[in-house]
Structure 1
Amino acid sequence: MSSRTFAPLLAAILLLAEPARAQLTIEIIGGGAIQIPIAVLPFAGESVLPQSITEIIEQDLSRSGRFRAIFVGGVSPPPTEIAQVSFPEWKSRLADAIVIGQAQRLPDGKLEVRFRLLDVLKQSQIGGIAFTLTAAQTRLTAHKIADFIYEKMTGERGVFSTRIAYIVKQGTRHELRVADADGQNAQSILISPEPIMSPAWAPDGARMAYVSFQNKKPILFVQNLTASKQPAPVANYRGSNSAPAWSPDGKQLAAVLTKDGTSQIYLMSPDGTNLRRLTFSQAIDTEPFFTPDGQSIYFTSDRGGSPQIYRMPASGGEPVRMTFEGDYNVSPRVSPDGKNLAYISRVSGRFQLMAMDLESKQVQTLTDGQRDESPSFAPNGRIILYATDVDNRGVLAAVSSDGRFRQRLGIQAADVREPSWGPFLSN
């Protein structure tokens, strides 16, 4: 069993941000087709923790749509070693895997959490880790354990320990918040009486670009999430400065400026220097998004008479049209593996989330909402987060990339918009 402690980045983010007053709540409204049956047994000694680590792990796995929780009632005392596990019993309960673990307080006051992931059929250990942590890192530890389980059982990286950003509007109050991927541990990064738009995580997870109307016009900022000082504008030209998008290496920002007339796409350094124009049309070019290899940029343009999605070299050049079905296709987002394109399409007056296979060009409708917007892929590409309307209120929703699993995230009495899913964090 390996042992881990935590890198300082996330702790720094939490120290500098203000706790949000209301958390996102998650409602599962559809299940995946194939689910792995798993039993997460109560961790021995977890009463030393501020909250149940067992419960968080089980909720993470269940919300992924890839796992089905097996009832664990009647297990006392909870096992902590393989020799204490009755594998025939768990086979009879139809579990493919079980998780056992324990928590204890160390002499120096810190906490230790150990767990093992076991294969029921083979009656053997798949893997395990021992974490040293503080009480404040309980949720993060649970998410990392869920990530480990998810990867071992599916072959894909889990995203439970990642963060999401979104905009909340309550009355005249606008907030840019970040939260755990499950909507908990929300922190306010920026509070303003003026609108905030377009949050975009840098690939390092330590910076965020966004647009603020704090001076009564859209201005582009880059906030260092590990620094307490207020950011300086990186684009404050005449007219509008909007729609920031990071290059995969974090060394460049694409943005939309109207300083020369119509909305056009520009490239700049994250501090606003080295500005270079990429598009030269009389149309509206907007919503740039880099491909994972950094070689191309997808964007929305009405140069053909209606809003459609185009692709061009990241260095500039002749665009290629990508969407042809319908007269309104916007908000392109490329999956982390570069194989799929998510976007919003107007279908019979409804704005719905679509996915295009970039090799075959086949298109799949993923949602059936009325006003879906702002798609954002999870860093493993398995889930797409987006905003939608429910009962005339903005909420966040998520759908698996195959459209089979859905969930909804909302805050009571508030509009929640413009989600952005952050990158994987370093261990």
Structure 2
Amino acid sequence: MSMSRRALSRGLLGGLALAAGLALVPVSAQAQFRVEISGVGATQIPVAIGRFREEARAPQPLSAIVKTDLERSGLFKSLDASAAALDETSRPNLSDWKGKGADALLAGSVTQLADGRFDVRYQVWDALKGQSLGGMSLVVPAGDLRQSAHRIADDIYQKLTGDRGVFATRISYVSKVGARHTLLVADADGEGAQAALASPQPIISPAWAPDGRQLAYVSFEGGKAVVVVQDVFSGKRRVVAGFKGTNSAPAWSPDGRQIAVTLSRDGGSQLYVIGADGEGLRRLTQSYSIDTEAAWSPDGNTVYFVSDRGGAPQIYRVPAAGGSVERVTYSGSYNVSPAISPDGKCMAYIGMADGGYRVHLMDLSTRAVKVITDTRDDESPSFAPNSKQIIYATRAQGRDVLMTTTLDGRIKARLATPQADVREPVWGPFLAPLRR
């Protein structure tokens, strides 16, 4: 293909059959991820984390999950407070913890109730100011204990930084084991993976709806590419773009009412916008080139996309209502897969640098660009909903893996599985608060 490598071809190629939709099905523990964190942040908040009282009797290591979440963000480093045997009712000497180098302290408990659920409680203290920052109690079934730990990490993140945490959000990605392709939904750390769809043929271009309940993706029905929207909980699905030719590269508008797609119905691959119900199709670009890989600005007014109209793949943008096209990338001869940060400040994309395909980050106000990865075969960048991290796919030790990185490139986490190639990650939106 003259225009692209694998990162771009996901919008134009596919398999041969569409499998039936599935409700979320747990994946075996052997297929789950290990989080491997590398790098050091410029400034990190030291947090002392104690082992939760009675944690050994719970099926999930809550304190360890919180610790890993915070470290993966790049903003925190942890100190072990387990020897102090604290819980949420303790009255710790915060001056002592300040003297030990801690800015904050976390302690809690987890108790199994008579009905089998677990009562999770915790408290956070500011050691510098010598005061409690509060906490909460969560009563959850065993299956939600990991989510509880992620919520606790989110609460600490927000208390200490002022920004909303994303540890309780979800990711989606495609895995391939042999000839089996699976669309998976997992926690943001890659654990707790559940299958939304399984097929003997490729599944490509997953995209989260803003409601966090639906995924659009591309598969094949009757031998041609179609865009499908699926409820990830019920498994119900519908074809929203099944026109003649190929139907590919779905991207949801911020309000969830429209989906930008690439269609070849009129002879070439061009951008169209269609209602999420499959109605109201309208053409967005008019060229004799390949226009694909749409990405909406968070205000819904602009659509970024990839085109070879200048002779090589570059990133352009066009008003969502239609109008003049503007080129965005000029550095390098190959730039694809745009992703716009939810705060609208940055664009991540894949560009060629030093002979490899790497994640680039552009400041959209200044157009300044920096390369934030040192791998050579990156693809599919996607922002966390708080705009502080990026997930992407790359190659490591001869297979496909998922990575997250902070925007400065300092802290990276590898979400590794020994049994599957994983690709095309997309970070989901914020979820509704957990009941307390």
Query: Where on the TM-score scale, by shorter chain, does this alignment land: which range?
Result: over 0.9
Question: Out of 66, 77, 101, which is 1:57 matched to?
Answer: 66
**Residue aligning to 2:78:** 69
Structure 1 segment 30-49 matched on structure 2, within 5 A: 30-49=39-58
Structure 1 segment 253-292 matched on structure 2, within 5 A: 253-292=259-298
Which deviates more, 196-205 or 63-72?
A: 63-72
Aligned residues: 410
Q: Match of 1:224, as an amino acid? A: D
**Residue aligning to 2:321:** 315
- CA-to-aligned-CA distance 1:152-197 (integer Å, 9 cap, x gap): 1111111100000001011111110010001110001111011100
Q: Match of 1:198, as an amino acid? A: S
Which deviates more, 289-298 or 216-225?
A: 216-225
* Preserved CA contact (<8 Å) 1:103 1:113: yes
Report deviation, 1:214.
5.0
**Residue aligning to 2:145:** 138
* Preserved CA contact (<8 Å) 1:192 1:214: no
Distance 2:194 2:276 in 1: 24
Structure 1 segment 20-419 matched on structure 2, within 5 A: 20-21=27-28, 22-76=31-85, 78-83=86-91, 85-106=92-113, 108-213=115-220, 215-229=222-236, 231-419=237-425
Distance 1:410 1:306 in 2: 33
Report deviation, 1:20.
1.7
Report deviation, 1:73.
4.5
Tell which has more relative contact order, 1 or 2 (C-alpha 8 A, sep 6+): 2
Report deviation, 1:49.
2.5
Distance 1:290 1:114 in 2: 40
Report deviation, 1:232.
2.7
- CA-to-aligned-CA distance 1:217-256 (integer Å, 9 cap, x gap): 2211000123233x23211122211100000000000000
* Gap regions ≥5 residues in structure 1: 1-14
Report deviation, 1:47.
4.1
- CA-to-aligned-CA distance 1:267-306 (integer Å, 9 cap, x gap): 0111211111111111110000100000100001111111
* Preserved CA contact (<8 Å) 2:35 2:416: yes
Which deviates more, 46-55 or 134-143?
A: 46-55
* Preserved CA contact (<8 Å) 2:356 2:377: yes
Report deviation, 1:65.
1.4
Which deviates more, 241-250 or 402-411?
A: 402-411
Secondary structure of the structure 2 residue equivalent to 1:59: helix
* Preserved CA contact (<8 Å) 2:179 2:200: yes
**Residue aligning to 2:15:** none
Identity of aligned residues (%): 49
TM superposition outliers: structure 1 runs of 4+ over 6 Å: none
* Preserved CA contact (<8 Å) 2:87 2:122: no
* Gap regions ≥5 residues in structure 2: 1-21
